[in-house]
């Protein structure tokens, strides 16, 4: 989850909503990224979507069987669908998202009969840290000031970094 938080802080530094994701297999980080919709002019460029794309490319497989996703915010419907299609084993998320979340809130995508694969889901991990990061980002946006979050890492997406689940 630490790598996902690094990606979230990097996203905030780029002016993006601070959400970061990391995909891990066998204790090793396969792919990471942070939100980039504004940078890429792409509404689908959520952290989860970008990390899934990177992981599929790295593994040369559309299925991420045996992989776990760590993300700093509860996934939306679009991301939940991609998680299901990629056959991700487990999802660990930090902050719950009552407005846009689709895992434990909203449509509860993985509980729908049309969902072909439902991963194990664990929410609320480092929730207060994620909530504070989001609150600070939006407060800064309202005040017109620069983001007040530190950014020790950028969206490298490098594979092979160790991650402790």
Which is nearest to 89 in space by CA: 35, 30, 24, 3? 24
Active site residue 57: no
| 56 annotated to bind ligand | no
Q: Which one is catalytic: 7, 16, 48, 163?
A: 48
| 67 annotated to bind ligand | no
Which residues lie below 8 Å from residue 72, measured CB to CB, with a gap of 6+?
A: 1, 4, 5, 7, 8, 18, 19, 20, 21, 47, 93, 94, 95, 126, 130, 133
| 76 annotated to bind ligand | yes
- Residue for token digits 């909203």? 106
Binding-site residues for Zn(2+)? 46, 76, 79
Q: Which residues are catalytic?
A: 48
Binding site, annotated residues:
46, 76, 79
């Amino acid at each position: 989850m630490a790598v996902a938080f690094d990606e979230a802080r990097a996203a905030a530094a780029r002016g993006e909503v601070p959400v970061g994701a990391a995909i891990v297999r066998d204790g090793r980080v396969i792919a990471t990224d942070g939100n980039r919709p504004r940078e890429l002019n792409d509404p689908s460029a959520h952290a989860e979507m970008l990390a899934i794309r990177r992981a599929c490319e790295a593994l040369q497989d559309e299925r991420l069987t045996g992989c776990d996703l760590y993300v700093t915010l509860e996934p939306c419907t679009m991301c939940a669908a991609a998680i299901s299609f990629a056959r991700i084993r487990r999802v660990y998320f930090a902050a719950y998202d009552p407005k846009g979340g689709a895992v434990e809130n909203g449509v509860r995508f993985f509980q729908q009969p049309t969902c072909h694969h439902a991963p194990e889901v664990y929410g609320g991990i480092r929730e207060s840290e994620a909530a504070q990061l989001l609150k600070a980002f939006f407060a800064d946006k309202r005040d017109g000031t620069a983001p007040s979050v530190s950014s020790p890492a950028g969206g490298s997406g490098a594979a092979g970094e160790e991650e402790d689940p």
